[in-house]
Every structure is written in structure tokens, then in C-alpha cells.
Structure 1
């Protein structure tokens, strides 16, 4: 996607305006996001047409409000606005709000109810009477500009969040239930309800809304769990002012399914912001497709050095299990923006999985030297200590990250993994639950809950959580493997077989998707399947006394040593993904020492590799070889039994039993030859 010179100048001006307007309202993250996009736009060529010089040497982004009523109000209250903004910048949020909304004025609003006068609340005559305009519908809002109103109410919300953190118990302490609420939300919600009700009146004559108060109301409603109404107001906000990335992020947080994303897409403004929103939300919903990759590449054609878009591309590869491509994308982000700490917690996860200890040590040192009290820095350092198997130290840093920001999703999930390693299952369950409270789309937390309950042998609970994880990642083989294994332990063999066959199909999906992104080596893995899954399916068929099916899957499992293509019963499922040959701690935490060190290589020497790109000899293929040898003995195919038993001796697995099989097979063959004579 290439923009014309005129479109590029128009886009630059719109983003510059967004930076100024968001900064004026102290929406610093949204302003930073827009400013980074402006910086990522290529500079216009010297011969490109420039916009007309502004009158009085004032740049258009600093021009007064085009609405005369709002412009007059902003001019009248400029001194108070500058005072309020300076208080906000100094983190004196209550003082900032009191400049435009003093406590007596707000007390009148809180002393009234929508349906009854405030005087009806108490009958104590000794108390002072409520004001005459006590009815909620009769309450009069102050005549201030929308910019000042937003700043004051936003300061109230931030002050409430600050008090909420102060009132909360120590992270994971005995009283830390996560039940502390922001007490200012009710006040802000009532104020904005009144403001919007007044504007909806038939005889109302108000200046048009600027979109920021809709954003604030949607954010408050989302915190109050009123998701549907919040979504309505946020959609209104992006229609009125589409350049506020904070509003788009709030919509992303409310979208939990791809179906919901497709449903609201036609109701959004059709511009480059909605295009970026759709790509970012799809990545957050763990979608992987060539179309999504193409969308990100188109956007990178416009913003070639955008750290936000490069991070989205890296996360797309990460969710697609193409960890090497994700590492390269994060390397590029770090090279372009070495002081940027955003999303480096995801980068540290990738380095952990790939066992890049020197790189992770460098990243931890870099984050600590830039800002050791950023949540992202604490998560990176915690991951480094986890890789060193210093789990108590890792927990300490994850707790520090949560002390700085209790909504840090990575810290909650990774701390759950560390508690699993420390065998503290109750603390692990609580950490995963808090991660789910922060973001119900976090499949890692659902999966961790399933594993923890499985260790406690509460298989019904574990199955429920595994299914939640599989619903979020329907094309992730590890999710379906967990479902199948849990069903097997519950004695539901048929359902377990179906789930494990789904795991085989999921592997082929990820390998095909990874290869479509141009990942090297993805196609080479597409001709093989996971021998562990094949062995599980075969064993379940064996327990159901369906020997022919069991034999077919045992043979298929054995064929993976040489990378032989799967048979028709395998559903065309292809190759074990990278996550199946690497102990992925952060995507699927292991218990005890299994998978806890992030070392590469599969179980029982799976990383050796076959001559044609297969898995080589693994514990699973050796078990399949032993089963087939016994089956051949029962079928009186002594030559095959002898050959398989001799291969087992070479594998070094169950050697004594293999030797016994060889002796028995040879005696049977000698007996057969004697009888034949």
C-alpha cells in the first residue's frame, strides 16, 4: 500500500492533530502512539507540494476550536485549564479535578437519585436539608468546555485508580482478593449520564460533541462491566474523533471473539485507523492467516519503521509458533528503538522458549538500565531468573511488576507458572485466576488452570479449563492434546480420540500458516506428525479392544522416525510444530522439572532427527515398536517380531524385554521349521 504525496501530508496532519488533542487532555499513551506513527512516516520529498502557510504563523494543529461556543468557553477558562493541567502533570489528580468540579458541586450530584429526590433518603430532621434542585433530572451541570470537563473527570478516574491501588492488600497477600473497586466510577458515570441525557433532550441546543467524553464514558462503563453500552459509546467516540487510539484499544478489550469483531466492523468508520484496529484486534485474538499478514505488511508500507506495527507482526509470528521469525522481528524493533520497553515482556518469553540465555541476560540488563521500575522490566528480569531456575527470585520480580501495575497480564500468568514449578498449586491457581480477571482471552492462564487442577487430580475441573483454552486457540495442538489426555484419565476414550485427532489436524494448520508467512523450515515439518499423539490414540484404541485401529496408529507413530507421510486415517494432519519439539514453559508450563528449563529437544532424544527430516528414535516410537512386536508375536508373524525386537535392542529401550522377545521369536521360528520338515 502506497499513499500519494497529498494523502501522506493529510495523514501526517491528522496524526499531529491527534498528538496535540490527546496531550491537551492528558491522554499520554494515545498521544505517544500517534507521535510514534508520525515519526514512522517517511519525510516528504523536497519537491512535494507543501500546505499553504497558516495565517498569523499559527500551525493548524494549534488553531482554536472550530466551534464558536466551545472556543469562547476555552478562551474564558484558559488560566484555570493551564492550572488544572499542571496539577495533572504533577500527579495531583484531586486538585486537578477540583479546579473545574469542586467537591460541593459534586456532592449535590451524588446527593440526588434519578428516580427520587435526595430529601427522601433520610428522615433525620437534625441533618441539613437537601438543596432545592435535589432531583437528578433537575441537577444543573457547570457551564465549562468539553476539554476542561474531560480533564476534570479523567483526573477523577485516575485518582480513583490510585486510591484503589493504595487500598489494595499486598499482592497475593492474605487479604488480596482483587475485590477493591474504584470509588470514583459512580460519580463520573452519573455526571456523564446527566451530560448525555441533557444533550438528548428535544429542545437541547448544544455544540457538537468532540468524541472524548464518549470515550471516557465508554471506559467507565467497561470498568463497571456494562460491556454492551460501553461498546456503543466507544463506537460513537471513534466516529467523532477516529485518531484517539485509546478508544480503539478499549474496543479491542471488549471484543472477545472473531465473530464479534466481524459483527461490529461495519459499524466503525472506514479509514486507516479502523484498518489498524482490525489488524491489532485480530492479533490479540490469536488469529493467523495470510490475509492478516498481508494487512500488516500493507501498513508497514506506509509506516516502515513503526514499532507498534513491527510488534504486531512479531506477535503474529509468536502466536503462529514461528518463534524464529518472531525473534527476528523483535530484534528489528530493538535495533530501531533501543530505549523502548513496551512489549519487551513478549520478547523475553520468546527468548526463554528458544533458550537464548545470553540474549535474555542482555535484555534484562538493558531494561534495568533504562527503567528498572517499569512492569515490563520486572517481567523481563523475572523471566531471566526463571531460565536460571531461580524460581523464588522470579516470583519476587513478577510480584514487583504487579505492585507497579496490577493489570499486568504477563506478570500474573508467569507468576502462576513459577508457583507451579515451586509446587505451590494453590498460589498458582490464584495467579491464573487473577490473570483471567485481567483478560479473559488469555489462553495461557486457562491452560495453566487446567494443568494445575489436573495435578490435583480434579479432572472435571481440568477438562473445563482445557476446553476454555481450546476455544480460544482452536488450532493449537497442545490445547487439544490436553483435552484428550484429560478425557482419557476420565475413562472417556472415544471423546479423547476425537480430541487427539483434532490435535493432529491443528498441527497441520499451524505448519501451513507458518509456511505462508515465508518461514524457513516450516514446509520440511509438514510431512510428519507428533508421535506422542499418535501413540496416545493407538493406546486408547487398544484399551477399547480395537486392535486393527491400534495397529494402524502404532505403525503411523513408528513411521514418524523417518518423516514418512501420514496415512489416510490421520486426517491429513501434518507435522509437529516447533512448540512440540521445544519445552515451552510460558505457553504450557510443566510440573516439576519437565519443561521447566526451556531446553530445546524433545523427550527421549526426539531432537535427534531422522534421515529424511523425521523425529528419529523417541520414547513414543520405541513404545510403538514394542507394541507392534508383541502384536506380531500374537499374529504368529515371528520374522517381523524378531526384526522389531532387534531394532529395540539398538534403540536401547526395554532391552531385556526385547531380548526375551527375540529368544521367543527364534524358538518359534525353529519350531516352525522343524514341523515343516
Structure 2
């Protein structure tokens, strides 16, 4: 188990996201220090992940990853320059900077910038056109051209997991859900540490039949995906089994404990869920994540004094 834990640590360390950091510290410490050989010789999957650092463009709770190291990439200065525009939401300006760059990272960022520019314009049109006319039929005008370009890259084998992730989003937006699932599966099989791709894939799995027919490679991130998907599909027993399995490695993870409590709440085991939430707040008194579930639980149990205390605590500690 110690070597497996070290593999998880090696895979998580290079990923600068809050969730990855939380899982990293959630791995139970080994009983004895790892040997130098284990430290110096990570698994091949770990070594691959070390060379693929990510920057996260935050959009709500899920980050959109941008690969920071690519052996096929050129024009690193232009890409860095374009990303400053991207982070300022000047999407077309970012795409223009990269129009003559052919590296995979540059292609991904340019295409993603164009996609976001189209989304921004679509939102503006919706505001302009809705008014008294009701629901707007505004669409992202960049989808057709981006689908054509990314389809060509995929056909020629010159697309990486991040380009596949974007391709999957575009296909989803065009209503091609089956093909979008196929592309997103290719993305997570190629690079399993991109939770954004897993999240998009989960949104397209609206039944257990669809979920069970996915051709996913075995990886511990698959367990996180399946547990979350089972929870969304109200397959609570299956979700609980997956989270308890993950808890065997990430024993100190507050996220997994909160997910287990959420499953217990959904199964109406309110007392067990309450004990887990109480322990979470004891170890992490400033926690806000999942407190909405805890508040619903306290309301269901008619624990009004505890609910009032929780509301006061979250308001003043948040």
C-alpha cells in the first residue's frame, strides 16, 4: 500500500488545483518513511504527469486546464502573452496572437479563446434579443469552424487530451452527445488528471446504461468519476462503495468524508451523516463546502438550534 500511496502522491503533486492539493494531504501518512529508491523511481504514469503541469483558468468550481509543458510546442513566448489576454477575458485578442502558432498548447489556447469569445457574444445576444420576445435562439457562432478544425486535428493524430476535451465540449453544445462522450473518453484515457473533462463526461451520462458502456481505462481517477456519477444518478449503494474504497487511500480527505456524508444523507441515514459532518467541522472549522447539505440535514432532523449555530458559524467564518 505504501508504494501505491507514493504513486498517488507523485501524480497529484504537479497539479496546482485546490482539489488536488486537498487529496494530496488527504493521503494517510506511511508508517515508515519511503525508501530513496521509491522516491527516485516513480511509476511511468507518475513520471508522465510530472512533465504536464497545469495552469487553471477558473470558471466557477471547476478549472479549465491549460497544459504548461509540451514537447511538441513552439512559440512559448506568444502563448504566455496570449494567456494574459485570455485571463483578462480579451478572447479574440488572445486568439489573434496565436493565429500563426502550431504547437499543441498554442492550438488549444487559440481554439479555447475563440470558443469563449463565441460564448461571450452569445450571452450578449441573449440579453439584447430576449426582452419582450421571450427566449433567445442565440448560438455560439464559432462552433462550426472549431468543430471542423479540431476534427481534422483528431483525424491526423495531432491533437492532445486538452484539445479532445475542448472538442467534446463543442460537440456537446452542438447536440452531438454520443460523439461528445466518445471524445471525452479519449481525453480522460489520455490524461486522467483533468477533472474538467471528467465533469463534462459525467454531465452526458444521464443513465446507468450510458455510464456502464463507457470504455474507460483503469485509473484511480475513474473511481472518483464513477462515485460522483453514481451519486448524481441516485445509485447510492454503488456511490458509497466507491467512496469507501477511495477512503482506504485518502483516509484524511475532507472531500471524501463530505461525499460519504452526502451519500448517507441521501440514503436517509441522518444520524451517521450528522456525525461525519460534525467531525469535519471539528477538524476544519472554517469549512464551507457541503455545508448546504449539512444544513438540510439539520432542518430535516428539526435541530433548529444546531441549524442556527451552523448558519452563524458559516456567515462569520466564511
Partner of 1:212: 162
Partner of 2:150: 192
Determine if contact 1:221/1:230 at 8 Å carries over to the other structure: yes
Partner of 2:104: 146
Distance 1:174 1:360 in 2: 42
- State the TM-score, normalizing by the size of structure 1: 0.39
The CA deviation string for residues 99-126 of structure 1, in whole angstroms up to 9 with x for no partner, is 213xxxxxxxxxxxxxxxxxxxxxxxxx
Q: 1:308 to 1:168 in 2, by over 3 A?
A: farther
Determine if contact 1:15/1:35 at 8 Å carries over to the other structure: yes
Determine if contact 1:168/1:176 at 8 Å carries over to the other structure: no
Partner of 1:303: 250
Q: 1:41 to 1:161 in 2, by over 3 A?
A: farther
Q: 1:87 to 1:334 in 2, by over 3 A?
A: farther
**2:190 aligned with 1:240:** yes
Q: 1:283 to 1:5 in 2, by over 3 A?
A: same
Indicate the SS of the match to 2:81.
helix
How far 1:161 moved relative to its partner?
3.4
Determine if contact 1:169/1:175 at 8 Å carries over to the other structure: no
**2:8 aligned with 1:11:** yes
Partner of 1:607: none
Q: 1:342 to 1:168 in 2, by over 3 A?
A: farther
Q: 2:207 aligns with which of 237, 257, 282?
A: 257
The CA deviation string for residues 437-494 of structure 1, in whole angstroms up to 9 with x for no partner, is xxxxxxxxxxxxxxxxxxxxxxxxxxxxxxxxxxxxxxxxxxxxxxxxxxxxxxxxxx
Distance 1:81 1:280 in 2: 34
Distance 2:161 2:113 in 1: 17
- State the TM-score, normalizing by the size of structure 2: 0.78
**2:4 aligned with 1:38:** no
Distance 2:216 2:274 in 1: 33
Q: 1:161 to 1:47 in 2, by over 3 A?
A: same
Partner of 1:276: 224
Indicate the SS of the match to 1:230.
helix
Distance 1:251 1:352 in 2: 33
Partner of 1:96: 94
Q: 1:52 aligns with which of 37, 40, 43?
A: 40
Q: How does 1:619-634 map to 2 (within 5 A)?
A: none
Q: How does 1:299-378 map to 2 (within 5 A)?
A: 299-369=246-316
How far 1:96 moved relative to its partner?
2.8
Q: How does 1:183-582 map to 2 (within 5 A)?
A: 183-197=141-155, 199=156, 206=158, 209-264=159-214, 267-289=215-237, 292-369=239-316
Distance 2:23 2:305 in 1: 32
How far 1:282 moved relative to its partner?
0.9
Q: Which gives a bigger RCO, structure 1 or 2 (Cα 8 Å, sep 6+)?
A: 2
Q: 1:352 to 1:173 in 2, by over 3 A?
A: farther
How far 1:61 moved relative to its partner?
6.0
Partner of 1:620: none
Indicate the SS of the match to 1:302.
coil
How far 1:81 moved relative to its partner?
2.0
Distance 1:193 1:157 in 2: 15
How far 1:268 moved relative to its partner?
0.6
Q: 1:283 to 1:53 in 2, by over 3 A?
A: closer
Determine if contact 2:207/2:233 at 8 Å carries over to the other structure: yes
Q: 1:254 to 1:169 in 2, by over 3 A?
A: same
Determine if contact 1:351/1:357 at 8 Å carries over to the other structure: yes
Partner of 1:86: 84
How far 1:8 moved relative to its partner?
1.3
How far 1:269 moved relative to its partner?
0.4
Determine if contact 2:247/2:256 at 8 Å carries over to the other structure: yes
The CA deviation string for residues 379-414 of structure 1, in whole angstroms up to 9 with x for no partner, is xxxxxxxxxxxxxxxxxxxxxxxxxxxxxxxxxxxx
The number of aligned residues is: 296
Partner of 2:56: none
Determine if contact 2:52/2:70 at 8 Å carries over to the other structure: no
Point out where structure 2 has 5 or more consecutive residues left out of the alignment.
Answer: 54-68
How far 1:211 moved relative to its partner?
1.2
Distance 1:157 1:336 in 2: 42
RMSD: 3.3
Determine if contact 1:235/1:268 at 8 Å carries over to the other structure: yes
How far 1:144 moved relative to its partner?
1.9
Distance 1:285 1:336 in 2: 30
How far 1:297 moved relative to its partner?
1.5
Determine if contact 1:34/1:245 at 8 Å carries over to the other structure: no
Point out where structure 1 has 5 or more consecutive residues left out of the alignment.
Answer: 21-30, 102-141, 201-205, 372-677
Q: Which has the larger radius of gyration?
A: 1
